[in-house]
Amino acid sequence: MSATVTLTLHPAFSVAPVRRRTFGAFVEHLGRCVYTGIHEPGHPTADADGFRGDVLELTRELGVSSVRYPGGNFVSGYRWEDGVGPVEERPARHDLAWHSTEPNTVGLDEFMTWAEKAQVEPMYAVNLGTRGIEEALDVLQYANAPQGIALSDQRAANGHPDPYGIRMWCLGNEMDGPWQAGHKTPEEYARIATETARLLRQEDPDLELVACGSSSSSMETFGAWENIVLTDAYDYVDMISAHAYYAEKDGDQASYLASADDMDHFIDSVVATADHVRAKLKKDKRIMISFDEWNIWYQHRAESRPPQGDDWPVAPVLLEDTYNAMDAVVFGNLLISLLRHSDRVASASLAQLVNVIAPIMTAPGGPAWKQTTFHPFALTSKHAVGQVLDVRLTAPSFENPRFGESSTADSVATWDEESGALSLFVVNRGAEHSLALDADLTGFGDLELVEALTLHHEDPYAANTQDAPETVVPAANGSVTLTDGHLTGDLPAISWTLVRLARRA
């Protein structure tokens, strides 16, 4: 017999409103994300600007709300002005971050054109690695200032007379990482981030600024870095970044399935540090989190090793992980973690959007297809509306080497009072047995079941490929029923499930 997961939820117990920016993504000049990813002139679906129509369509279907650009490690050596003006006059340069050649065919103006077509909000990162305050102010004026000064007039001369109005700006990237161009101590970064933020705000007081947090919770600098940076920059920034990647390691399937436990702890730790600084400085404002890099990433695989030596290719095949059914379940669970922390996670960016550890894959000159991870993101983005609810859960636990004991189930729900839509997201993290779902929903009034979809495959390592793009897709879960406000159903081992309900008309 199946063990049971019991969910307790009520519309009165909300966490925070669903934030659309939770469903952001990331486009970096890395591998084939830009070239033959979003941009491929000559492709059968390409528009007049060279953007792949099939990728634009999938981006909109994915439900992406914002896109961080242009990096990532790339940005710490990037000269933004290389990517504006006549394309034939733009210089090609070596990108030291990924040992590639950047042709600068796509830059800020092209990205903003693409963002408008993709219907996404831009999030721009400035180079505080090899560059600094002056260049950050320059790119802000180029992007956002009305015509009448040199840089905004340059933008107009390049065919874009109206300001772009970019609101979110990242102050560098992973500056505590020794791999980063211009790697800095926390004190060094705190000063340049604070001074950059102060001047950017003089140019435009309404910007939303993101300071770099530690690049990983496993870094020795983690915690102390956030403390030092926020102590200096608190008055000038709105968010601090968090980055986390997960993968099955050394065959430890159990710990991998419990990855969201780590994300929960990570977020709670950053919140605790930010609130410690708030108390120390006696401030009213709360610093929020921009979880602007998160995903499944198998960093030990050959496809994650950049070229070497004299090989500096344009858009090499890099970080092109193929995701399986289990990856999609863990991925969906990470989204559950982000949603339940909506009171403090103000923005998030799935890294990345196309080809590079991405939900969308493309073949140069050929088709685009959905990876397994596409589905939980698209469905959560579409159906998580209203208020995030505090779901209390009772389920058996399972042992794993990393966390000791973890719950076999995890869940979050959203409730939209106005429309009467209730969405329940549940994962079975157990590798061997199904779970019987049991939830009392009588507190929501007279509901009806709209649909129940489960993503699951008998082989957890089954994947979607160019030749078989629908191997792992969500399917109707006919076991889920609603009787007198009582929801029941069966959740297969290693599965992600969406249950949609609505107030009866």
Catalytic site positions:
174, 293
Distance CA 305, CA 100 (A): 12
475 within 8 A of 457, measured Cβ to Cβ? no
Measured N-to-C along each axis, helices 374-383 and 53-62 cross at an angle, to the nearest 10 degrees, of 60
> For the chain, what's the residue count?
505
70 within 8 A of 27, measured Cβ to Cβ? yes
DSSP state letters, 70-108:
S-SGGGGG--GGGGSS-GGGPPPEEETTTTEEE--SS-H
Listed residue (380, 273, 374) closest to 337, CA to CA:
380
Distance CA 502, CA 495 (A): 23
Q: Where are the alpha helices (DSSP H) in 108-205?
A: 108-118, 133-144, 150-157, 186-203
Six token digits for residue 7: 């969910």
Gyration radius of the chain's alpha carbons: 23
CA contacts within 13 A on the Cβ side of 380: 36
According to DSSP, the β-strands at 435-440 and 3-8 are parallel
Six token digits for residue 24: 């952001």
Amino acid at 117: K
DSSP state letters, 334-389:
HHHHHHHTTTTEEEEEEE-SBSSS-SEEE-TTS-EEE-TTHHHHHHHHHH--SEEE
DSSP state letters, 396-460:
-EEEETTTEEEESEEEEEEEETTTTEEEEEEEE--SS--EEEEEE-GGG-SEEEEEEEEE--SST
Tokens 């400035």, located at residue: 126
3-state secondary structure of 208: strand
3-state secondary structure of 230: helix
Listed residue (291, 323, 296, 320) closest to 455, CA to CA:
323
28 within 8 A of 70, measured Cβ to Cβ? yes
Distance CA 165, CA 216 (A): 31
Tokens 């709300």, located at residue: 65
Find residue 229's DSSP bridge partners: none
